[in-house]
Amino acid sequence: MAFWSALRRSGERALAAGTLSIDAVRSGRLEACTPREIAEEPHAHPETGLADQPSPAPLKQFRVQIPKAVITALVFRHHQIRFSQQDDLIAIITALARLGRKPKTSETPEHVKVLSF
């Protein structure tokens, strides 16, 4: 499913960029090409997570524990994240949610929430 979604997005970008025309698709005159590098989309909330802007309010702490084998499976078995996203917590948690994996939640004596997958 992720492959076909990526293929559709790639085709839409090619049409928008003018490197592919509807006439070429209809007539079957298609040439092989190497896709250009896809730019990363900017973070939806760029102001969050900046170390140089301390929060004026008390912060809630979370710890996330995900076995390396699970992350490796997301890349190579499930194809839910790219190899370069193995350290991207948002991409990993999103991929796990797509697969129906929900975290187990616990709390440390220091009141830190621990999410374990």
pLDDT digits (tens, 9 = 90+) for 5-53: 877 787 777 777 777 777 777 777 666 655 555 555 565 555 555 566 7
Least confident of 11-20, 27-36, 64-73, 81-90: 27-36
What is the pLDDT at residue 33? 59
96: exposed, middle or buried (C-beta count within 10 Å: 0-12, 13-18, 19+)?
buried
Going from the C-alpha of 65 to that of each of 6, 72, 104, 110, the distances in angstroms are 29, 14, 10, 17
Per the rule left: phi > 0, alpha: psi between -120 and 50, beta: everything else, 111 is: left
Instruction: Parse the chain into domains and list their residue ranges.
Output: 1-39, 60-117
The whole-number pLDDT of residue 43 equals 54
